[in-house]
Amino acid sequence: MCCSAAGAECPGCGTWSSRVHGSYQRNPADVPSAGRSVVLRLRVRRFSCQNASCGRRTCVEQIPGLPRRHGQRTERLRSTLATVGLALALAGRAGARLTGVLGAPVSRSTVLRLVHALPEPEVPAPRVVGVDEYATRKGRHYGTVLVDVETRRPVVRLPDREASSLAAWLAQRPGIEVVCRDRAPFFAEGATAGAPQAVQVADRWHLWHNLSEAAERSVAQHRRCLRSLVPEAPEGEAEPGPEEELAGSPWPTGHRFADRTRARHAAIHALLEAGHSRRSIQRQLGMTWRTVQRFADAAEPERLFIGQWQNRTSVLEGHRPGP
């Protein structure tokens, strides 16, 4: 293929030149066809620059839509390789293997270089931003990260979590309408000073987190009150046996774990009273030797519940004030 442009513009000074100095052949790679590599044989002309003060002596004509200046691939092949590395998320070795299958083998470094050369996408100004902190070194160095809540993409990272830095960033973007933040006072001050027109709200995670903390504190404070709400057994029903009234038992009758434990304890002790050995009980019930030994050594099934949180005593028990 031979080019026949009337001239070329010097990239150094911008002077148009039509004086032919010579020509040479370029071999840019193109998109493969039927799995085979395609190389274009392109002869381009070199023009002499007419500006005597220009540092460049010659310039080469460029064909729109084909290779860039000093490029080894056409624009179609560049976009294809960039799509493999970016759109398919296969940058690196995986992308290089796929390009070999497509018939345009390149190295992983080339795929990464083509991805890095892509222009930054135009991001619209955020309308709803989320503000939170991040730690580069926990307990010492913290920063601020702002996220576009609608697109779920990070917008910027500030090097600190000062109210002045957040206020300065928000003041440059008057289109922000909503600021999602936590209960940190410096975020509240920065959002109020930088975006007074925005509505400050708590995000979904902090709402659920705050609700769960409040519910947990309330249940812990009124745990004794909740025990008094348990309905008493109606008259005429049989009173529970002494094993069910054991003060140390944390599991009431009807609990799945308690009923299973009591049934196993009764079965093992019944076999022991019948004269069976512990090895024989192990084989009959399909239990381990340690389990049979633990059940056999317990005089009552409630003794097997020791270790649950209801039977644990706090280290502060001796220092609690009296009722």
> Nearest 10 degrees: CA dihedral of 250, 256, 262, 266?
180
Task: Please give the full DSSP string across 142-200, using - where no structure is assigned.
Answer: EEEEEEETTTTEEEEEESS--HHHHHHHHHT-TT--EEEE-S-HHHHHHHHHH-TTSEE
**pLDDT value at residue 319:** 67
Identify the three-state secondary structure at position 322: coil
pLDDT in tens, 39-53: 888 888 888 888 888
Q: Give me the residue spans of the domains in the chain.
A: 8-60, 75-116, 128-206, 256-309
Write down the number of H helices and E strands in the chain: 10, 12
**244 — pLDDT class (breaks 50, 70, 90):** very low
The highest-level CATH class for domain 128-206 is alpha beta
Other beta carbons within 10 angstroms of residue 73's beta carbon come to 22
DSSP 319: G
pLDDT in tens, 264-279: 889 999 999 988 888 8
Q: Is the pLDDT of residue 1 over 60?
A: no
Q: Is the pLDDT of residue 83 over 70?
A: yes
pLDDT in tens, 131-187: 999 898 888 889 999 999 888 888 889 999 899 999 999 999 888 999 998 888 889
**pLDDT value at residue 137:** 85
Identify the three-state secondary structure at position 26: strand
**pLDDT value at residue 243:** 46
Q: Is the pLDDT of residue 55 over 90?
A: no
